Structure 1
Amino acid sequence: MRPQKILDTDMIAGLTKVFRDKGYEGASLNELAEVTGLKKASLYHRFPNGKQEMAESVLNNIDEWVDDNIFSHLLNEKKTANLRLKDALKNIEVLYDSGKETCVLRAFSMHSGLSLFEQQIKSGMDKWIAAFNGLGISLKLTSTQSQQNAIQTLIELQGSLIVTKGLADTSIFKNTLKNIEKRYSKE
């Protein structure tokens, strides 16, 4: 068996970039092949179910990264709630490159992507809400307050990414992270 010339991590990073930039529908097989450094035949060899399998791999990769680098911090009860939040927010900033990157859930929620990935998108959003809800509960918020804060946090994160991109101003995203920290720090 020949060694792989393209590392899986590099390939997934390339696919992620194209899907974030173009969405599911807008990502062409030519662009996906070009960004991975593979010919279309080799790309299909790695992903026999085509573009949908590539997108699922991207979603799974980001889901694992978010679990390891954001949710694990928010839910780690060995640390203070403020430290958990600071660590998670720092990694949220990394995930979205200070607001320059589009959320992949948003990129896949357009047109046919929504019908193909609806369950994964819902599951991803549910996990975000559950992690911030857990933080709120550990801060002794009522279950209603905690749930409302968690949903508001998700809305602000997603909304700020759109506004940041539209106005080409990363300070919007950074200020949103500060506001989220203030909201939970007041509690």
Structure 2
Amino acid sequence: MRPQKVLDIDMITKLTEVFRERGYEGTSLAEIAKATGLKKASLYHRFPNGKQEMAEAVLSHVDEWVETHIFKVLLDENQTPEERLVAGLDSIRNFYNNGEQVCVFRALSMKSGLELFQTQIENGMKRWIEVFEIVGKTFQISSSKAREEAIQTLVEIQGSLILVKGLSDLKIFENTLQKIKNRYITT
């Protein structure tokens, strides 16, 4: 068996970049081939169900990364709630490249992408809310208030990413993360 020219993690990283930039509908197989350095035949060999399977692989990869690098950090009981929150927000900052990266959920939730990936997107958002609800409870916030704060946190993160793109101002994302930190720590 010949060694693969493009490693799986490199390919998923490139696929993620293309889908983040172009969305599901806006991404062509030609663009995917160019970005990954693979011919269309090689892409179909790895992903027999085509672009949809590629996007599903991206969502799975993103879910795993977020679970490991953000949620695990936010839920690490070996750290104080403050330490967890600061480290988790740093991981979020890293994940979105200081606000420069578009959210994969947003990129894949337009038109047919939402129909195809509704379950994964919904489950992913529910998990963000669940984790931040737990974060709120570690700061002694009541269950109902913790859920409200968790939803607000997700709204602020997602909203700030849109505003950063629309206004070309990365400070919006950084200020949002700081406000989230302050809200939990001073509550």
Fold shared by both chains (TM-score > 0.5): yes
Gaps of 5+ in 1: none
The secondary structure found in structure 2 opposite 1:24 is coil
Partner of 1:112: 112
**1:35-66 deviation line (CA, Å, top 9, x unaligned):** 11000001100000000000000000010000
Q: Percent identity?
A: 56
2:151 alignment partner in structure 1:
151
Tell me the alpha carbon deviations over residues 95-125 of structure 1, each in whole angstroms, 9 at most, x when there is no partner.
1011111000011110000000000000000
1:103 aligns with 2:103: yes
Q: Counterpart of 1:35 in 2: which secondary structure?
A: helix
Give 1:36-51 correspondences, 5 Å limit: 36-51=36-51
Counterpart residue identity of residue 170, structure 2: T
1:125-144 matches, cutoff 5 A:
125-144=125-144
Deviations 1:57-100 (A, max 9, x none): 00000100000000001111221011000011001001101111
Output the CA distance in 2 between the equivalents of 1:71 and 1:116: 25
Q: How does 1:23-42 map to 2 (within 5 A)?
A: 23-42=23-42
Rounded Cα–Cα distance in structure 2 between residues aligned with 1:39 and 1:77: 46
Rounded Cα–Cα distance in structure 1 between residues aligned with 2:138 and 2:160: 26
2:136, 2:51 → 1: CA distance? 38
Q: Which residue of 2 aligns with 1:122?
A: 122
1:76 equivalent in structure 2: 76
* TM-score computed with the length of structure 2 as normaliser: 0.99
Tell me how far apart the structure 1 counterparts of residues 35 and 65 of structure 2 sit (CA, whole Å).
21
Distance (Å, rounded) in 2 between the aligned partners of 1:120 and 1:73: 22
Q: Distance in 2 between matches of 1:175 and 1:138?
A: 23
Normalized against structure 1, the TM-score is what? 0.99
**Residue in 2 aligned with 1:18?**
18
Q: CA deviation at 1:154?
A: 0.1
Structure 1 partner of 2:57? 57
CA displacement at 1:140 relative to structure 2: 1.3
Q: Could you tell me how far 1:138 is from its partner in structure 2?
A: 1.3
Superposed CA offset, 1:4-34 (max 9, x none): 1101111011100010000000000000011
Note the residue ranges of structure 2 that are not aligned, 5 or more in a row: none
CA distance in structure 2 between the partners assigned to 1:118 and 1:31 by the alignment: 24
